[in-house]
Structure 1
Amino acid sequence: MPAQIHAFLCLQDNIGVLIHDPETGACATIDAPDEEAILKALSETGWRLTDILVTHRHSDHVQGIEGLRSRTGCRVVAPGKAREAVPSADAYLREGSTVQVGSLRAQVWETPGHCADHIAYWFEADRVLFAGDTLFTLGCGRMFEGTYADFWGTLQRLATLPDDARVYCGHDYTLSNARFALAADPDNAALQARAREAEQAKAEGRFLVPTTIGQEKATNPFLRAGEPALAKAVHKEGAAPAEVFQALREWKNGF
C-alpha cells in the first residue's frame, strides 16, 4: 500500500511532515521542529507516532525530539555525524544505511552542503524524497559548512532522481526563492509560471510542497548552474558549474 503523507506549517516557516504506513500503522515525523504542532497533526490524522527521522542537527529540526519521545515512546534515528547534537537517538545513520517505517523503506543519502551532518531519506518505492534543508522549492539551503563543490555535488546527485520524485523540504521559502530565481533566470518561462503558481498558492493558504525533481530541474537556479543563462547572470560565462553555483548562492545570501 502506498505511503500516506501529511505536510503542515509550523514555527515561523518550517514544514512538518508525517509519513504513515497504512499497512502496519507505523508513522514517522521528518524532524521534530515543533512538538505541539506535530501532536496536533497526529490528532487530526488519527495516526500514532512510532518514529522520528532526523535530517540534521539544527535546533529548529530537533528541539521537539525529547518531548515527543516522552509522550509517545517513539524511536529516534539521526545522522551519525550529528551524534553530539542528538545524543539519545536509538540509531545513527550514514551513507548506505536503510531505515524502515513499518513496511516503508528508505535509503539514506549523506547530503553535505547546508551542514556537514545532513542526510536525506529516499523512499524509492513511493518516489518520495525528504530533503530537509538541502533542496527547497525553487531554492536550496544556505551553506554553513563544507565547500560549494560538495554542495553542488549533493544537488547534482539529487537531480539524478526520477523527474516524478516528490520532494518534501524543511521550510517554506518559496516566494522569496521565486523572487531570486526570477532575478537570476528572468527569461525562463517555466519559472515564470511556477512563480505565479506560488503566488496563487500563498493567496489560497497553500504552499508548493511537495515539488518534484522535474519541476526543480526546470525552474530552480541552483540545479541549473550548468546552464549558460545562469552563468551569464553571475558573470561566470565558461566557468565550471560549481563556481557558478557558488556565485548564485552567495548572491542569494544577500538578496
Structure 2
Amino acid sequence: MKFVKDREWLFNNLNDNNVILVDCRFSLADPQKGKKEYLESHIPGAFYFDLEKDLSAPVKEHGGRHPLPDLEKLIRKLENAGINECKVVIAYDHGEGAYAARFWWLLKYLGHKNVYVLNGGYKQWQEANYPVTANLPASKTVKFHVELNPDVIATTKEVEEVVRHRPKDCILIDSREEKRYLGLEEPIDKKAGHIPGALNKPWMAGLHANQYKTVEEQRQRFSNIDSKNQIIVYCGSGVTAAPNFLALKEAGYEKVKLYVGSYSDWISYTGNKIE
C-alpha cells in the first residue's frame, strides 16, 4: 500500500533517524485520555499530537466541530518535533485509524510526500510484543518548507456549488454510519440527515480488525464511482472522513478532496438544505 506501513516495517526501521513517529491517540468521550495513555506508554521516539489542541482549531460559529487548525501553530509544533519535508513520518492511533488519518491528511495538505499511517495502530503493536516506553523523546528543531496542496481540501462554497448544480463529474461521499446518513439517529449534531445528493460510504467499512483493507478491497467498495470523477468526502466534523480519503487514494482515485468542516459546518449555515 502507498500510504500505510505495517508494524513489521516500523519495527525494522525503528532506529532510523530519518523516521519520526507521531502518536495521535484520542477519545472523543474523554479528550484527556489519549495524552494520558501516551504518557503511560508509547512507541519509542513518538511525539504526541492532540486532535483538539494540535490538529483542530477552537470551535466557532462556522467551521464545524474540528475546524482546520492554525497552520502556523501546527507547523511550529511539527518543526519542534524534528519534522520537515525530508523526514519519513509514521502516524498511529489506537488502531481505529481516524485520528492518525487526520494527521496524515493534514501533512498531505502541507505538501509532505512521505507520511504514512501505521496499520493496526498501537493496539496491534502491543499485541506483537514490540517495544514501548514512557520516556519522552528528545528532538532537534528543524525548518519545514511548506507547499500547500489546495487539491486535497474542499471549501463550504465548493460543496454549495456541487449541491446547487449537481455536476455529473463530482461526487459527494458521506463517511458516517448509515443511521446518521439517513437521519434516523443523530447523537452529536443539531440536525439529522445528510448533504443533498451525497452517497453513503461508511468509513468503518474500509478497515477490518484495525487494519486497512487491501487495495483491491477498497476498489470494490468504491466500484460504483467513476475514478475520473472529482470526489469530496465528508463526515460529521472532518475526522472520520480522512480514512475514506486515504482509502480512495489507495484505490487509485486521483481527484479526492476532504470537506474539513463537514456536516457540522454545513448545518451551521441556515440556508443550507439537508436530506
Scaled by the length of structure 2, the TM-score of the pair is 0.30
1 or 2, which has the higher helix percentage? 1
Q: Name the structure, 1 or 2, with higher relative contact order (CA <8 Å, separation 6+).
A: 2
